Chains A and B, each alone.
Chain A
Amino acid sequence: MYAYDEYDQAIVDQRVSQFRDQVRRRIAGELSEDEFRPLRLQNGLYLQLHAYMLRIAVPYGTLSSAQLRQLGYIARRYDRNYGHFTTRQNIQFNWIKLEETPDLLADLARVQMHGIQTSGNCIRNITADQYAGAAADEIEDGRVYCEIMRQWSTFHPEFSFLPRKFKIALTGSPNDRAAVRVHDIGIRMHRNAAGEIGFEVMVGGGQGRTPMIAKTIREFLPKEHLLSYLEAILRVYNQFGRRDNLFKARIKILVHEIGVEKMRAAVEDEWQQIKDGPLVLPQATIDAIAAHFAPPDYRPQAAEQPEVERLRRSDGEFALWERTNLFPHKVPGYVIVNASLKPEGLAPGDATAEQMEIVADLADRYSFSEVRVTHAQNLVLPHVAVKDLPEVWRRLREIGFATPNLGLITDIIACPGLDYCSLANARSIPVAQRLTHRFSDLARVHDIGELQIKISGCINACGHHHVGHIGILGVEKNGEEFYQITLGGSADQDASIGTILGPAVSSKAVIDAVDNLIGTYLDIRQGRETFLHTVRRVGVAPFKERLYATA
Chain B
Amino acid sequence: MTANRLRDGAVVFLKDDHSWSENLVGVAVANDAEQAAALQAAADRDVAAARVVGAYLFEIALENGDVLPLRYRERIRAFGPSIPWDRPVSADQLSR
User: Is B a genuine binding partner of A?
Assistant: yes
Q: Which residues of A line the B interface, CB within 8 A?
A: 26-29, 33, 47-52, 76, 80-82, 94, 96-99, 347, 352-354, 418-420, 424, 427, 429-430, 433, 476, 479-481
Closest chain B CB from A398 CB (angstroms): 15
Tell me the complex Cα distance, A353–B88, Å: 10
Tell me the complex Cα distance, A26–B8, Å: 12
List residues of chain A with CB within 8 A of the CB of B7: 27, 97-99
Residue of A nearest to B80 (CB): A50
Of B73, B93, B94, the contact of A418 (CB 8 Å cutoff): B73
Interface of A, secondary structure class, is mixed
Q: Contact: B9 with A430, CB < 8 Å? A: no
List residues of chain B with CB within 8 A of the CB of A47: 4, 9, 53-54
In the complex where A27-B6, A97-B8, A98-B8 touch, is A419 in contact with B83 (Cβ < 8 A)? yes
In the complex where A50-B11, A52-B9, A418-B76 touch, is A81 in contact with B81 (Cβ < 8 A)? no
List residues of chain A with CB within 8 A of the CB of B77: 49-50
Interface residues on B, range: 20 to 34
List residues of chain B with CB within 8 A of the CB of A419: 76, 81-83, 85
Q: Which of B37-52 contact A (CB under 8 A)?
A: 47, 49-50
Q: Contact: B50 with A26, CB < 8 Å? A: yes
Q: Contact: B9 with A50, CB < 8 Å? A: yes
A–B complex contacts, Cβ < 8 Å, 26 sampled = A47-B4, A47-B9, A50-B77, A50-B80, A51-B4, A51-B9, A51-B10, A52-B9, A76-B93, A80-B88, A81-B87, A81-B88, A96-B9, A97-B8, A98-B9, A99-B8, A347-B83, A352-B87, A353-B89, A418-B72, A419-B76, A419-B82, A430-B82, A476-B72, A479-B70, A479-B72
Q: Contact: B87 with A433, CB < 8 Å? A: no
Tell me the complex Cα distance, A418–B83, Å: 11
Given contacts A27-B7, A50-B81, A97-B7, 17 further A-B pairs with CB under 8 A are A26-B6, A29-B49, A33-B54, A47-B53, A49-B77, A80-B87, A81-B93, A98-B6, A98-B8, A99-B7, A419-B82, A419-B85, A429-B81, A429-B83, A433-B83, A479-B71, A480-B72
In the complex where A27-B7, A479-B70 touch, is A81 in contact with B89 (Cβ < 8 A)? yes
Q: Contact: B49 with A76, CB < 8 Å? A: no
Q: Which residues of B line the A interface, CB within 8 A?
A: 4, 6-11, 47, 49-50, 53-54, 70-73, 76-77, 80-83, 85-89, 93-94
List residues of chain B with CB within 8 A of the CB of A81: 87-89, 93
Tell me the complex Cα distance, A27–B51, Å: 8
Ranked nearest first, the 3 interchain pairs of A and B with the lowest CB-CB distance are A419-B81, A29-B50, A51-B9
Residue of A nearest to B51 (CB): A29
List residues of chain B with CB within 8 A of the CB of A479: 70-72
Closest chain B CB from A479 CB (angstroms): 6
In the complex where A354-B93, A429-B83, A481-B72 touch, is A33 in contact with B8 (Cβ < 8 A)? no
Closest chain B CB from A397 CB (angstroms): 20
List residues of chain B with CB within 8 A of the CB of A48: 9
Which of B6, B9, B81, B87 is packed against the most chain A CB atoms within 10 Å?
A: B9
Q: Contact: A49 with B50, CB < 8 Å? A: no
Q: Contact: A28 with B50, CB < 8 Å? A: yes
Q: Contact: A82 with B72, CB < 8 Å? A: no
Closest chain B CB from A94 CB (angstroms): 8
Q: Contact: B6 with A49, CB < 8 Å? A: no
Closest chain B CB from A399 CB (angstroms): 13
List residues of chain A with CB within 8 A of the CB of B86: 80
Residue of A nearest to B59 (CB): A479
Q: Contact: B71 with A51, CB < 8 Å? A: no
Which of B10, B72, B83, B94 is packed against the most chain A CB atoms within 10 Å?
A: B83
Q: Contact: B76 with A49, CB < 8 Å? A: yes
Tell me the complex Cα distance, A94–B10, Å: 11
In the complex where A99-B8, A433-B83 touch, is A33 in contact with B89 (Cβ < 8 A)? no
Of A28, A33, A80, A418, the contact of B47 (CB 8 Å cutoff): A33
Tell me the complex Cα distance, A94–B76, Å: 14
List residues of chain A with CB within 8 A of the CB of B8: 51-52, 97-99
Tell me the complex Cα distance, A50–B10, Å: 6
List residues of chain A with CB within 8 A of the CB of B49: 29
Q: Contact: B87 with A430, CB < 8 Å? A: no
Tell me the complex Cα distance, A76–B96, Å: 11
Closest chain B CB from A25 CB (angstroms): 10
List residues of chain A with CB within 8 A of the CB of B83: 347, 419, 429-430, 433
Closest chain A CB from B24 CB (angstroms): 14
Q: Contact: B89 with A76, CB < 8 Å? A: yes
Residue of B nearest to A25 (CB): B50
Tell me the complex Cα distance, A480–B7, Å: 33
Tell me the complex Cα distance, A29–B7, Å: 11
Tell me the complex Cα distance, A354–B53, Å: 33
List residues of chain A with CB within 8 A of the CB of B4: 47, 51
Closest chain A CB from B21 CB (angstroms): 15
Closest chain B CB from A419 CB (angstroms): 4
Closest chain A CB from B46 CB (angstroms): 11
Closest chain A CB from B83 CB (angstroms): 5
Tell me the complex Cα distance, A94–B70, Å: 24
Tell me the complex Cα distance, A33–B3, Å: 13
List residues of chain A with CB within 8 A of the CB of B9: 47-48, 50-52, 96-98
List residues of chain A with CB within 8 A of the CB of B93: 76, 81, 353-354
